[in-house]
Amino acid sequence: MNQQFLVSTLVIALGWVVKRFLIDERGAQALVRLVFNVTLPALILTTFDRARLEPSLALLPGIAVAYGLFMAGLGTRVLFRRRPRMERGQLSMLLPGFNIGLFAYPLVEASLGAGALPYLAMFDLGVAFVTFGVAYAIASHFSREGAKLDLARAGRQLIQSVPFVVYVLAVLMRLTGLHLPAVLLDATGVLARANMPLSLLVLGMYLGYETRPGQWREIGSVLGTRYLVGLATGVALFLLLPFDATFRTVLLVGLVLPPPLITISYAVQFGYDVRLVGLVLNAANLASYFLLWALFNVLT
């Protein structure tokens, strides 16, 4: 496992080198879209086609949604309620949601094996609802004075997410006993194998830590909340839930992942501080990476 993390670290470092010397921002964004819309959906289809769905897996998306709603309320109603409206929205949208597709899949697959991916995929089904629904609604609602909560727009954002639609289709196919044709399954398998190296390259491409005075206080408030609440909740569920070790491990790991990369797009769309959001994501990526390494070593 430590060797797998070392290899992952080297690929992430290669991504930083590639972004710095070989491609520009547009190239990096194109690679992100490729992962989200091609290799990740292929991995989802391949994973579910071969997976055996246990009844307990149905709890994972529910836990993800409940936790995301709790974190959204904690940010908007408690922690940041006295901040100016724009700050309240910017910081609160970073609390719910997790980076599963670009961050968790390659590391979980490398450390726990392909058998853990169906658990992670079911958890991500709930996370997708939180990321493209709840976090988007927060970003939109607090972006300007007098803005109303537009649930219809948040719903359109959700159904326009290719990974979310593929998740739903894959689960429905598995529940009804349908399988992909062999030739299509072979094609998705080839693309799925590309998801891990491409995702790690993307993580390296977006590393950067240039800050302005006073920003670390805001970064610390977001990250401190995410990791304290996430780790406490994850450990409690790991110890209390009566399910198998893979279920509980994936849940614990899932709750300490970094915020989703899509929040950068929300910051651009609604006029938030894009640099601050990017710094939060970079710091969280680094913190989660080493935290996962420690957790996998302890749990195994």
Where residue 288 sits, what CATH number does that domain have? 1.20.1530.20
> Could you give the CA distance from residue 73 to residue 68 in angstroms, rounded to a whole number?
9
For the four alpha carbons of 161, 165, 166 and 168, in that order, the dihedral sign comes to positive
Tokens for 187? 């094609």
Q: What is the pLDDT of residue 211?
A: 62
Ranges of H-type helices in the chain: 2-21, 25-34, 40-50, 59-73, 85-92, 105-112, 117-129, 136-141, 151-159, 162-175, 182-193, 195-205, 215-240, 245-254, 262-270, 274-299
The verdict on residue 290 lying in a domain is yes
Tokens of 162: 């290719």
Let me know if residue 139 belongs to a domain: yes
**What region, left, alpha or beta, does residue 69 occupy, with left being phi > 0 and alpha being psi -120 to 50 degrees?**
alpha
Q: What is the reported pLDDT for 27?
A: 83
Asked if 128 contacts 155 with a C-beta cutoff of 8 angstroms, the reply is no
Task: Tell me the angle at which helices 245-254 and 274-299 cross, rounded to the nearest 10 degrees.
Answer: 150
- Expressed as residue numbers, the domain containing 91 is 2-204+215-299
47 assigned to some structural domain: yes
pLDDT of residue 245: 93
Q: 15-27, pLDDT tens digit by residue?
A: 888 888 888 878 8
Residue ranges in the chain whose pLDDT is less than 50: none
101 located within any domain? yes
Q: What is the pLDDT of residue 212?
A: 66
Residue 208: per-residue pLDDT: 66
Q: How many domains is the chain partitioned into structurally? A: 1
Q: Which of 98, 96, 91 is nearest to 222 (CA)?
A: 91
Digit-coded pLDDT (tens) for 191-215: 988 888 887 787 777 776 666 666 7
In a domain, 209, yes or no: no
CB 139 within 8 A of CB 273: no
pTM to 2 decimals? Answer: 0.84
Looking at residue 144, what is its pLDDT? 75
